[in-house]
Amino acid sequence: MSTVVLNGAGTTVADITAIARKDAAVEIGPDVYDRLARARAILDQAAASGQQIYGLNTGLGANLKTPVSEHITAFQQQLVRGRGMGVGPTLPRAETRAVMAARLAMLSVGGSGISPPVFDDLLALLNKQIHPILPSIGSIGAGDLVLLSAIARSLIGEGEAEYQGEVQPSGQALKKAGLAPAQLGPKDGLSLLNASAVSVGQGALVVVDGATLLDFQRQAAALSFEALGGNPLILTPAIQLARPGAGQVEEAEKLLGLLEDSSLFEMKAAIQDPLSLRCVAPIHGALAHALKVATEAIEIELNAAADNPLVILDEGRVLSTGNFHTPSLALAFEMLGLAIAQVALASAARFIQLTGSGRNGLPRYLTPVGGASAGFVPLQKTITALVGAIRHKANPVLLDFLPVSEGVEDHATQTPLAVAKCAGIIDLWRHVVACEMLAAAQAIDLKPGHRCGKGTLQIYGFVRETATKLEEDRPLGDNVSALTARLSDE
C-alpha cells in the first residue's frame, strides 16, 4: 500500500485519487500539527476575550444572532446532528474516501482552529477504512455542511458507516477498529462541516477520469483518421501555430505521433475532410484546456483554508469569511462539461461518417456481407441517444438556486451538482468512445493493404482483444459494453 503525505500544501488530484481508489495510507507532514496547535490557541484566546465567533458562540445561518453562552461543547454535537438532512443515493466507497481525504488536506492548512485530537480522529477514520454513509443530495455549493455532517456523525459514533465490507452503526464500526468516538470541543463540529470537501473530493476523481478518457478519445480519433482516409496534413505544426488555440498545438502533435508510419502519408488524400476530423486538434485542445482549468481549481481548494470563520495564523486573529463559496470551481466544471460534450459530439459525428452509406470507399454500414445486413447502422441510434443524454447533462446549473435561511444565504453555486453532472457525462462519453473505436477498427479491417501508424496499430490491437471483426450481424451492444468497461479499468 502506498502512502500520501499531507503537508497543507502541494496536495494534488493524483494524491486524492490514490487515497480514494488505491487505499493509500495518509500521513501528516511535520509542520501540520504546529499550525493546528497555533490556530487552536488563537481561536481559544479570541473566544475567551468575548469575541463573537460564528459557529462557536453563535448559531448558524438564520440563527446567527442567537448567542450560545452555555453548553458550548454540547452545541457542537447539536450542530452536527442538526445538519444531517441529506437524502438520495449514497456516495460510492471511493468517492467517500476522496471527500474525507479532501477535508483532511484542507484542514492541514491550519485555518480552521480544529482541535488536533479531532483532526487525528478523522485521520484514523480514513486510515482504518471506516467509511461513513454519505447521502448525495443536500448541498447547493455554499459549503457542503448537510452532506459532511454524515462524516462528523460517524466520528462521534452516530449514524452508519461501511467497515470491512459491511454497513453497520458507526459506534460499532469504531469499536471493531479499536477507535473511540471523538470528543468535540468548541467549533470542532463546524470545522468538520463548513467546507466544500464533497465537491472537491469528487471533482478530483472527475478530472483524473476525464484526462484518462481524453487519451482514449485521442486514440479513437486517430484510428478514425486511418479508417476514413483522413488527410494528416491538417495536423501540420505550422497550421496550429498560425492560430494557436488552447491546447491545439499539443493535441495535433499527439495525433501525429499516433499516426507515425501510417500509409496515410503516402496516399492522395481529400483536400478537406469533414469538420469532426479536420478540426479535431482544436476540439480536443479546448477540452485539454478545460481539464487544466478544473484541475487547478480543485488543487487550489485542496491546499487552501476555506473555513468560515478563519483563523489567520500570521495575524493571530479570527475573522468571518466567504471562502467556503466556490463560484470559480462551479464555473470550471460547467466549462468542463461543455468541453466534454463538444468532444463527444465530434466523436459521434465521425461514427456516423464511418457507418453511413459507403463513404471513403467503405462498404455501406461497415458490413462485409452487404444485402439486408444491418451492420453497424443500428448503433447510430445508440450513439444518438448517448449524445442526447450528454447534451442534457451539459446544460448549466450554476444559476439554479433559491435564497435559504431567511435570506441570509441568498446566493449559491451548485458546485456539487456541476461536478456530479461532469461525472455522469464522462460515463456516457466512455460509451461514445467505445463506439467510435469499434467502428474504426471494423473499417480498417475492410481496407486491405492499409498500414496503420505505430500508435494506431496498438489501439487497433486493443480493440480486437475485446471484440472480433463483424462478419455477420450480431449484438454489437455487448461489444460496446465490454470495451467501455476496459476503458474504465485501464
Domain-by-domain residue ranges, the chain?
3-194, 202-487
Superfamily of domain 3-194: Fumarase/aspartase (N-terminal domain) (1.10.275.10)
Pick the closest to residue 132 from 107, 168, 103 (CA basis).
Answer: 168
Q: How far apart are CA 329 and CA 348, in angstroms?
A: 29
Write out the chain's pLDDT in tens, 490 residues. Answer: 699 999 999 999 999 999 999 999 999 999 999 999 999 999 888 888 888 776 666 766 666 566 666 666 777 777 788 788 889 999 999 999 999 999 999 999 999 999 999 999 999 999 999 999 999 998 888 888 899 999 999 999 999 999 999 999 999 999 999 999 999 988 888 889 888 999 999 999 999 999 999 999 999 999 999 999 999 999 999 999 999 999 999 999 999 999 999 999 998 877 889 999 999 999 999 999 999 999 999 999 999 999 888 899 999 998 888 888 999 999 999 999 999 999 999 999 999 999 987 667 889 999 988 888 889 999 999 999 999 999 999 999 888 887 787 767 788 889 999 999 999 999 999 999 999 999 999 999 999 999 999 999 999 999 999 999 999 999 999 999 999 999 998 6
Q: How far apart are CA 57 and CA 64, in angstroms?
A: 10
Q: What is the pTM of this model?
A: 0.95
The SS3 assignment for 478 reads helix
Q: How far apart are CA 32 and CA 10, in angstroms?
A: 13
Q: How far apart are CA 172 and CA 178, in angstroms?
A: 10
Question: CATH for 202-487?
Answer: 1.20.200.10
CA 446 to chain centre: 38
The CA-CA-CA angle for residues 384, 279, 206, to 5°, reads 60
Query: What's the one-letter identity of residue 451?
Result: R
> Could you write out the DSSP letters of every residue in 73-132?
HHHHHHHHHTT---EEEEPPHHHHHHHHHHHHHHHTTS-S---HHHHHHHHHHHHTTEEE
